[in-house]
A and B are shown apart, each in its own frame.
Chain A
């Protein structure tokens, strides 16, 4: 085998591994962001519908993070579950809000975060690579899209 072919193979392997790590960390970051937003919703809002949604999300994404950590551990790596800088800024802004607007603002931000997570899952599901992560992304996508449908119905 030529040295250049070997180098190319190694590069592909490295890139593919980076992509997998990218999905795990991206999904974990999004989940963590949703989790923190839901906790903020519980802490700041008396809106009954938002509180139900928040409790549901805390459970779902708590479980999602557990699954992601388990998969990362199976692969001999740790997980970085850090929300993006944009999400952190939104969390700071929302924490400073008060009054009736809080529920609507948190609900809007949650929808953004879930749309972001759906995009991450859609990208992973589309790769067809790494069946464990593809199937995880497919299952999450169905759940996220069903909830988006429910919210559309509610409107």
Chain B
């Protein structure tokens, strides 16, 4: 009896301490120590300020994720997350497993209370909070926001230390968002080209900004369909483009951002803080042009099922009136300076002989025609027709190749588990066939298509040459010097 009481008291004490650290982390909890800290000259304070923002600033998505989407109001509850963290006992993890709190059905999957889900959230050894998760206690409500580090930092499984800039390759954002009660607020990021089929209740109306009447979708079926589409996102990916097309891309590493633009489509700046899960209500002004919807209709869709005070009741005045004032945008230069300084950790052991041979294969195969410059990207966006990629985007930016050892899986859709799959037709073709047969992959435009340049037997390369090239690519940890173009282009692309 006494033992149980002591254990309960200890657990409660730990809970209070963890909650204290959570809620106060924005101001005083120390940042995790990085395995790839760079001793760079000059402007260290500026970069440090950028690192603070990288780990602590949600850039305004806290209100959107908490008060609009309801990230902590659905199948995931704070108590269960806290329990999962306490059970780690400071050991850290690359995948925080959390028990579902209430019965939930998403697509064809049903979750019972107690079922464990893989969040993919990383917790560093000795840490008490997932990387990139910011909690705030405001006006009697616990709110959660995601910082850059949720997606762009990861725990090295070997050392338990944090690698700044490494993508969190198993972050299950789609499922986490689908578990929230108002995932419908993310409708522009899934394949929802027209809301008309859900406009079945003529009483569910909203006055538009120009005094007309329009309808809002029936919440339950709309939410259910969006849940299913979000849950189809592969782990480690999110849809960065609110364009009513569901085409999530792999979370990129940040080791190649010395040049701009960034992002898979080459349409982002590092300081564009809304590329991830920014505030969807900010899209309202552009809604007529982007989605063919009046701004008030757009906001009505986002807020009609919101948990708490922001909820909009159809017929109850303009939805825009419910939004809190926006905070001014923070200075992004420190963040940009920090991100530009990121380099992957040096490999523990490298096969330098194979890497040297691989560099020759790289040049002979003509890779440097596109993969040129210090980060091995010529910074151009290649049209999908040239790449042979699926057509839901116009094109893809040539990927920089620094830190590839940390950014598996590969290809924009994260479908290639290894570089061999990326470079070898005999491995990619079965992958593509498998993806074609998957409904979830089709819903998310994950096809395994793209980068149709090969270093394989069919292109005349021996297995040893392919392996050497892969060894070279995996050895890249910093800026590279390529020979002049005339030499680099001596081999035609296969």
Which A residues have a C-beta under 8 Å from some C-beta of B? 48-49, 51-53, 55-56, 59-60, 63-64, 67, 70-71, 74, 128, 131-133, 135-136, 138-143, 146
Q: A71 contacts which chain B residues (CB < 8 A)?
A: 196-197
Given contacts A51-B385, A56-B391, contact A131 B215 (CB under 8 A): yes
- Is A139 within 8 A of B199, CB to CB? no
Residue in B closest to A139 when the chains form the complex, CB atoms: B292
CB-contact partner of B194 in A49, A55, A67, under 8 A: A67
Q: Does B195 contact A (CB under 8 A)?
A: yes
CB-contact partner of A70 in B197, B215, B292, under 8 A: B197
- Is A136 within 8 A of B291, CB to CB? no
Q: A56 contacts which chain B residues (CB < 8 A)?
A: 391-392
Given contacts A48-B385, A49-B385, A56-B392, contact A140 B194 (CB under 8 A): yes
Given contacts A139-B196, A139-B293, contact A131 B391 (CB under 8 A): no
Q: A139 contacts which chain B residues (CB < 8 A)?
A: 193-196, 291-293
- Is A48 within 8 A of B386, CB to CB? yes
Write the B67-103 contact mask toward A (1 if CB under 8 angstroms, else 0). 0000000000000000000000000000000000000
- Is B199 within 8 A of A143, CB to CB? no
Distance in angstroms between the alpha carbons of A142 and B293 in the assembled complex: 9
Write the B196-230 contact mask toward A (1 if CB under 8 angstroms, else 0). 11011010010000001111000000000000000
4 smallest beta-carbon distances between A and B, as pairs: A142-B292, A136-B196, A139-B292, A48-B385
Question: How many contacting A-B pairs (Cβ < 8 A)?
Answer: 71
Distance in angstroms between the alpha carbons of A119 and B213 in the assembled complex: 23
- Is A132 within 8 A of B200, CB to CB? yes
CB-contact partner of A67 in B197, B383, B386, under 8 A: B197
CB-contact partner of B199 in A52, A59, A132, under 8 A: A132
Total contacting residues, chain B, CB less than 8 A: 28
Residue in B closest to A134 when the chains form the complex, CB atoms: B214
Q: B202 contacts which chain A residues (CB < 8 A)?
A: 131
Task: Kindly list 15 other residue pairs between chains A and B, CB separation below 8 angstroms, not including A52-B383, A53-B391, A74-B197.
Answer: A52-B385, A52-B391, A55-B390, A60-B193, A67-B197, A71-B196, A131-B215, A132-B196, A132-B215, A135-B196, A135-B215, A139-B195, A139-B291, A139-B293, A140-B292
Q: Does B114 contact A (CB under 8 A)?
A: no
Distance in angstroms between the alpha carbons of A138 and B194 in the assembled complex: 9
User: Can you list 9 residue pairs at the A/B interface with Cβ under 8 Å?
Assistant: A52-B391, A55-B391, A64-B193, A64-B194, A71-B196, A132-B199, A139-B195, A139-B293, A143-B292
Shortest CB-to-CB span from B46 to chain A, Å, is 39
Given contacts A48-B386, A55-B391, A63-B191, contact A142 B288 (CB under 8 A): yes
Shortest CB-to-CB span from A134 to chain B, Å, is 8
Q: B196 contacts which chain A residues (CB < 8 A)?
A: 67, 71, 132-133, 135-136, 139
Q: Does B384 contact A (CB under 8 A)?
A: yes
Q: Does B109 contact A (CB under 8 A)?
A: no
Distance in angstroms between the alpha carbons of A49 and B194 in the assembled complex: 26
Given contacts A48-B386, A55-B391, A142-B291, contact A63 B215 (CB under 8 A): no
Write the B259-299 contact mask toward A (1 if CB under 8 angstroms, else 0). 00000000000000000000000000000111111000100
Q: B200 contacts which chain A residues (CB < 8 A)?
A: 74, 132
Distance in angstroms between the alpha carbons of A51 and B449 in the assembled complex: 14
Given contacts A52-B391, A142-B292, contact A63 B193 (CB under 8 A): yes
